[in-house]
Structure 1
Amino acid sequence: MTELAILFEDAEALVIDKPAGLPLDRPRAGGPSLDDRLDELKLGFQRVPMPVHRLDRDTSGCLLLARNPKALKRFSAAFEEKRVEKRYLGVLAGDIVGEEGTIELALSKVSTAKDGWRMIPARKGKPSVTHWRKLDTRGGLTLVEFRPETGRTHQIRVHAASGLGVPLLGDPVYGAGKGASRTMLHCAALAIPREGKEPVAATSPLPADFTALGFQDG
């Protein structure tokens, strides 16, 4: 079992570098999850730290955990009030038109017996905003920086597929699920402001499966 890298640590916050493939909650079918690893993240504290936000199983990178209930409440409020800066990097399964822009596509959850649940663009859905910038194109793939303003489920994945017209490489739900062993999305940086204190700020290096495609951050 690989050790979880700590990207930021103080008395009220931890930011870990979540590996791709590790779900936050215990899967119904069994198998490892972050739930099983929280004890080892006490790091001398009595309380088990609690995740403040969510990353999909496949998504790697910065994940914030609160080390006490008061911090969890404050950090959760910062996410709700859109005061958290989030920077994601994604590899798209093709080239895109334009260099940068903003995607505003409201999202709604749908469920069918055949396909299970997924998020779709819907006029009556929840407002969802993502700013994006093209960073590099290699071998017919595109590295894009995403800065989501809102934090809807699967927001970047749907905004890539439906807003930019090209899904994330390896995405089995909104794309063909080919070309990579996972959905190629990485939370590269996170910054949360705090009153009277330095912000919680962390950056996560680009994972090996991104650099194997020839991409570099920045």
Structure 2
Amino acid sequence: MSLTFDIGARLLYRDALLLVIDKPPGLPVHPGPRGGETLTDHLDGLRFGLPRRPEAAHRLDRDTSGCLALGRHAKALARLGKLFAGSAVDKTYWAVVEGGPDAESGRIDLPLARRSDDPRSWWMKADPAGDPALTHWRVLGRAGGRTWLELKPVTGRTHQLRVHCAASGWPILGDSIYGSGPRGGSLHLHARTLTIPLYPKREAITVTAPPPLHIADAVARMGG
């Protein structure tokens, strides 16, 4: 990713409170201990006349692409934060996994906890004593020993979809932490749609992001 990339071209939705962008894979949302380029470096390009840049209202992993909601000011961020924390936002992901489930739909109800006590570590594990985590899934296609899944997380735990898929025996393709993907490979996980009930007297806002090339190619082989 280059500091010269056009973040305005990745804008999917805009109103007085909310922006939704199509986050590219490989770009962290927030600065980390190792430094380097992050999405924050580009957010001044989305002020649209406001005195401060927007800020992310939730998290996406560095290697996950797709819909990311931004609050345009402090009050907007507070409202969005409550919606995301309370599971009011409907989130739909696409994933291409190695192998796949036998059934056509189901749920994964598996608590998650940190692998390490190190506060800098985001790696997670399935743990009966961990925080509750629930994911609904549905098969969208199959081919070549891989499966294209729709994933709908009810909770929002760190790395929830990646750990849930791996613990079920079908890790997400390209996952170098929980699967067999090479370091620096392309994670096949995409935040496809957000539905946000931001305004009480209006219909919820639904925004959809097109898949990046590596995921589009994979799902095309499965009829997508």
Q: TM-score normalized by structure 1?
A: 0.92
Residue 181 of structure 1 aligns to which amino acid in structure 2?
A: G
Report sequence identity in percent. Answer: 43
**d(CA) in 1 for partners of 2:177, 2:71:** 31
The aligned counterpart of 1:171 is: 175
The aligned counterpart of 2:104 is: 99
The aligned counterpart of 2:20 is: 15
Which ranges of structure 2 fall in alignment gaps of 5 or more residues?
A: none
The aligned counterpart of 2:5 is: 2
Higher strand share: 1
Residue 190 of structure 1 aligns to which amino acid in structure 2?
A: L
**d(CA) in 2 for partners of 1:192, 1:82:** 10
Question: What is the aligned counterpart of 2:139 among 118, 134, 137?
Answer: 134
Which is worse superposed, 75-84 or 29-38? 29-38
Which is worse superposed, 75-84 or 178-187? 178-187
The aligned counterpart of 2:192 is: 188
* Alpha-carbon contact 1:13-1:200 (below 8 Å) kept: no
The answer to whether structure 1 residue 51 and structure 2 residue 51 are counterparts is no
Distance 1:63 1:217, change over 3 A: farther
How far is the alpha carbon of 1:159 from its aligned partner?
0.6
User: Considering only aligned residues, what root-mean-square deviation do their CA atoms show, in Å?
Assistant: 2.0
* Alpha-carbon contact 2:95-2:188 (below 8 Å) kept: yes
Distance 1:25 1:108, change over 3 A: same
* Alpha-carbon contact 1:169-1:178 (below 8 Å) kept: no
The answer to whether structure 1 residue 125 and structure 2 residue 130 are counterparts is yes
How far is the alpha carbon of 1:2 from its aligned partner?
2.4
Question: What is the aligned counterpart of 2:75 among 67, 70, 74?
Answer: 70
The aligned counterpart of 1:86 is: 91
How far is the alpha carbon of 1:92 from its aligned partner?
0.3
How far is the alpha carbon of 1:126 from its aligned partner?
0.5
**d(CA) in 2 for partners of 1:180, 1:26:** 18
* Alpha-carbon contact 2:122-2:158 (below 8 Å) kept: no
How far is the alpha carbon of 1:199 from its aligned partner?
2.4
Which is worse superposed, 179-188 or 204-213? 179-188
**d(CA) in 1 for partners of 2:102, 2:5:** 39
Q: Where does structure 1 differ by over 6 angstroms across 4 or more consecutive aligned residues?
A: none
The aligned counterpart of 1:111 is: 116
Number of corresponding residues: 215
Which is worse superposed, 80-89 or 103-112? 103-112
**d(CA) in 2 for partners of 1:71, 1:94:** 41
How far is the alpha carbon of 1:150 from its aligned partner?
0.4
The aligned counterpart of 2:157 is: 152
Which is worse superposed, 7-16 or 116-125? 116-125
> What does the per-residue CA deviation read over 1:30-51, in whole Å, with 9 as the maximum and x for residues that have no partner?
3211110111111222221010
* Alpha-carbon contact 1:51-1:64 (below 8 Å) kept: yes
